[in-house]
Chains A and B, each alone.
Chain A
């Protein structure tokens, strides 16, 4: 498979502010690739560098092997779905969708036919003659999508396109976006700060923080094998326990849990001493063969799940999730429980 977008050591500074500190990414052709990270981590900046709205301070950006770092936005075969849609308010929906083709010199009949097809694809054919202001937020979002897809770009950039929609619509659009990506075969680079969105849609995810890529991988990779504390904490829920590492070899660590129990688990760290151990709450079970002993503080009812909030001897908090099945009897507050770590539940992190 060829590489669609190849970014090497991209640095972007705005005067004294450095938004990106050497980002390297290889996004494959026909991939749904997500940039995920908290607000201000540089996701939009990276997207704008690919689109050409900002010039890179140092580093390289290649599109299917071609160096595009110095090209004007109109010379890059890349289109963007803007966070606020940026539909042209004085043009009709159809004219908006046909705009890119018009600029490429496609004749009126052809471009209107293609724009009509695009509107059909996003189920908005009957709105072709409306003005953007006469559409709902969800409809505007689809117009923006149709407009960006109409010129058949090699890569589509999407900057938090779902963030202005309500929950139900957002969930429906996730499925639709993924379907659209598979149908068109266009590489999607999708920006979000919503991890659920990222996990459900993406082929691969790059987790960013503070202008750096922390980890790149499939949803399963980053959820089950986070490389550092930031990724483990940002993706899903996790317990971070301070532990003493006795020895590390070949990606596995032997360590002492609070309470004295010794275990061996996968490790992203290569040094001994004090480190953080990540334990996913749903991989802990209440069991007499205990690795940890805890005292229950509270049980929170979450519908599909029960969340048990407890603390270990020594005071470190620990949370577990039990499925709310018929046979589950939740523990009572104050009760002492033994916790068993399932295989793969724990992972030692680098800091």
Chain B
């Protein structure tokens, strides 16, 4: 059979897709080093907009927003990972139980529901229970929507770890807790780490839900950038965007590498029953 590469028009189509996807990112990254204040005319290479981000008039606002984003992402990713690990254990190790299918759907539903719907629903929920919007509401919302993203790599990993390892540990006098901590958790670690990284990135990037539940005066980096852009795009926004892009790429690459390494590690010898 001929490879897909030989279909007529394959190459131009591929190039078109790549250009549409990446050209805007490239433009932003390149113009963040622009010497002039214009966002269209090239005024020579300069780091002035990066300096501006850290020392300019908006530095304090962006600094506070970045701090909020970072702490929310750290706490939300960590909490979501713990919950997702527990969920994966319940789904894959507790044996069949009533409502297993329904639970699976519930865990993964947030991936399918349009974000705007979740945003509106979450806001209504918070105001119904009388929670003032602010840092805490952002954090709660982030924990919630991070769970399915953390769950997927953890569950995938857990499916690949045979139950006999835990049984062997229990057989060798380990308590349930010891079997989990000393045997299952280390074997699960690549999935846990990539789940955490994914959740961290998703939280760091989120705009729509955050914008709904953040309340007045509270900003994360994406909402702060959006706020600035409304008053016209300045090159310092491009510098911030490029920095965020860099952080995202680093994290996603780390997640990929960890996952790949983990997949090679536990070779299961012998045949399985």
| Residue with the greatest number of chain A CB neighbours at <10 A, chosen from B167, B168, B169, B186 | B168
Does A335 reach chain B (CB closer than 8 Å)?
no
Contact: A86 with B267, CB < 8 Å?
no
Q: Report the separation of the CA atoms of residues A100 and B269 in the bound assembly, to the nearest whole angstrom.
A: 21
Interface residue ranges of A83-140 to B (CB < 8 Å): 83-90, 99-100, 103-104, 132-133, 137, 140
Comparing A74-82, A169-177, A288-296, the segment that makes contact with chain B is: A74-82
Contact of B171 among A44, A80, A89, A163 (CB under 8 A): A80
**A interface residues, how many (CB within 8 angstroms):** 34
Minimal Cβ-Cβ distance residue in B for A79: B171
Chain B nearest CB, measured from A140 CB (Å) = 5
Q: CA of A7 to CA of B178 in the docked complex: distance in angstroms? A: 30
- CB <8 Å contact, A73 and B170: yes
Say yes or no: A85-B270 contact (C-beta < 8 A), given A73-B167, A103-B178.
yes
Cα separation A78 to B171 with both chains bound (whole Å): 7
Complex partner residue of B173 from A103, A133, A140, CB under 8 angstroms = A103
Shortest distance from the beta carbon of B172 to any chain A beta carbon, whole Å: 4
Q: Are B270 and A137 interface neighbours, CB within 8 A?
A: yes
User: Which listed residue (A80, A133, A140) contacts B168, Cβ 8 A?
Assistant: A80
Q: How far is the CB of B42 from chain A (nearest CB, A)?
A: 53
Q: Measured between alpha carbons, how far is A79 from B167 in the docked complex, in Å?
A: 11
The DSSP consensus for interface residues of chain B is loop
Q: Do the beta carbons of B183 and A73 come within 8 Å of each other?
A: no
B128 within 8 A of A: no
CA distance A100 to B171 in the complex (A): 8
A227 adjacent to chain B (CB < 8 Å)? no
1/0 contact trace for B149-167 toward A, CB 8 Å? Answer: 0000000000000101101
- How does the 8 Å CB contact mask read for A43-72 relative to B, with 1 for contact and 0 for none? 010000001110000000000000000001
Is the CB–CB distance between A90 and B187 below 8 Å? yes
B170 close to A133 (CB less than 8 A): no
Q: Point out the residue from B162, B170, B265, B267 that lies within 8 Å of A74, measured CB to CB.
A: B170
Q: Which residue of A lies closest to B189 (CB)?
A: A90
B residues less than 8 Å from A137 (CB atoms): 269-270
Q: Which of A44, A133, A148 touches B267 (beta carbons < 8 Å)?
A: A133
Report chain A residues within 8 Å CB of B271. 83-84, 163-164
Determine the distance from Cα of A212 to Cα of B125 in the docked complex, in whole angstroms: 59
Known contacts A83-B273, A86-B162, A88-B168; is-contact A104 B173 (Cβ 8 Å)? yes
In the complex, what distance in Å separates the CA atom of A52 from the CA atom of B176?
Answer: 13
Q: How far is the CA of A276 from the CA of B187 in the complex (A)?
A: 55
Contacts of B164 on A, CB cut-off 8 Å? 82, 84, 86
Indicate whether A147 reaches chain B with its CB closer than 8 angstroms: yes
Interface centre among B167, B270, B271 (most CB of A within 10 A): B270
B8 within 8 A of A: no
Residue of A nearest to B172 (CB): A100
Q: Given the complex, which residues of B lie within 8 Å of A52, measured CB to CB? A: 170-171
Is there a chain A Cβ closer than 8 Å to B175's Cβ?
yes
- Asked if residues B270 and A83 are in contact (CB atoms below 8 Å), the reply is yes
Minimum C-beta distance from B270 to chain A (A): 4
The verdict on A151 contacting chain B, using a C-beta distance below 8 Å, is yes
Encoded as 1 (CB less than 8 Å from any B CB) or 0, chain A from 222 to 263 comes to 000000000000000000000000000000000000000000
Are B266 and A89 closer than 8 Å at their CB atoms?
yes
Listed residue (A78, A99, A100, A164) with the most chain B CB atoms within 10 angstroms of its CB: A99
A86 touches which of B168, B173, B175 (Cβ 8 Å): B168
**Across-interface contacts of A84 in B (CB, < 8 A):** 162, 164, 268-273
Closest to B178 in A: A103
**Given A74-B170, A100-B172, 5 extra CB contacts under 8 A:** A83-B270, A86-B162, A88-B168, A103-B173, A104-B173
Q: Give B residues with C-beta under 8 Å from A.
A: 162, 164-165, 167-175, 178, 183, 186-187, 265-273
The 4 closest A-B pairs by CB, nearest first: A100-B172, A89-B266, A103-B173, A86-B164
Q: Which residues on A are within 8 Å of B, measured CB to CB?
A: 44, 51-53, 72-74, 78-80, 82-90, 99-100, 103-104, 132-133, 137, 140-141, 147-148, 151, 159, 163-164
A/B interface sample: 20 pairs, CB < 8 A: A51-B171, A52-B170, A72-B170, A73-B167, A74-B170, A74-B172, A74-B174, A79-B171, A80-B168, A84-B164, A86-B164, A87-B269, A88-B183, A90-B186, A103-B169, A103-B178, A132-B269, A137-B269, A148-B171, A148-B172
